[in-house]
Amino acid sequence: MTSKTKIPGEGGIILFDGVCHLCERSVQFVIRHDPYARFMFAPLQSDYAHGLIEEQGFGSEELPGDDLNSFVLIANGKSSLRSDAWLSICAQLDGWPSLLRVFRIVPRFIRDAVYDFIGRHRYQWFGKKSGCMIPAPDIQQRFRQ
């Protein structure tokens, strides 16, 4: 699949819930362990992300428009959701996070059940912001709106 929207970054682009504190912390985690800036980022609420989601052809059962419970990784013309996205991201990070890829041995339905449970409760446990995160100037070029 050839993307009409240029996806920068050799690792791909990570789409995340821009108002979720847990998601913001997750993005910060990736940035800390990605010294070569392999990944780019866009909040799921952005026009940029909406365009990518439409291009990738996600069905409403995979990524409902109102449901922002998923991290999405788009890389090399392929899309990954939920735990598959996280494990693909971790596999490309430097240091100990790359070891998390071992969790691929756990069946996806179990990984995604845990992922979905956390996703349903993330605002309650970690909070919700009134607007999307504003990246610091030194990492701003890695974000798309």
Model confidence band, residue 65 (pLDDT cutoffs 50, 70, 90): very low
Helices 108-126 and 21-32 cross at an angle (nearest 10°) of: 110
pLDDT tens-digit profile of 110-135?
999 998 898 888 888 888 776 666 77
Average pLDDT rounded to a whole number, residues 67-90: 83
- The answer, yes or no, to whether residue 17 has pLDDT greater than 80, is yes
Q: In terms of residues, how long is the chain?
A: 145
Provide the residue ranges of all domains of the chain, joining segments of one domain with +: 12-132
Rounded distance between C-alpha atoms, residue 14 and residue 64, angstroms: 17
In degrees, rounded to 5, the angle at the alpha carbon of residue 35 between the alpha carbons of residues 32 and 36 is 145
The 3-state DSSP class for residue 78 equals strand
pLDDT tens-digit profile of 82-106?
899 999 999 999 999 889 989 999 9
Q: Are 21 and 132 within 8 A, CB to CB?
A: no
pTM of the entire predicted model: 0.81
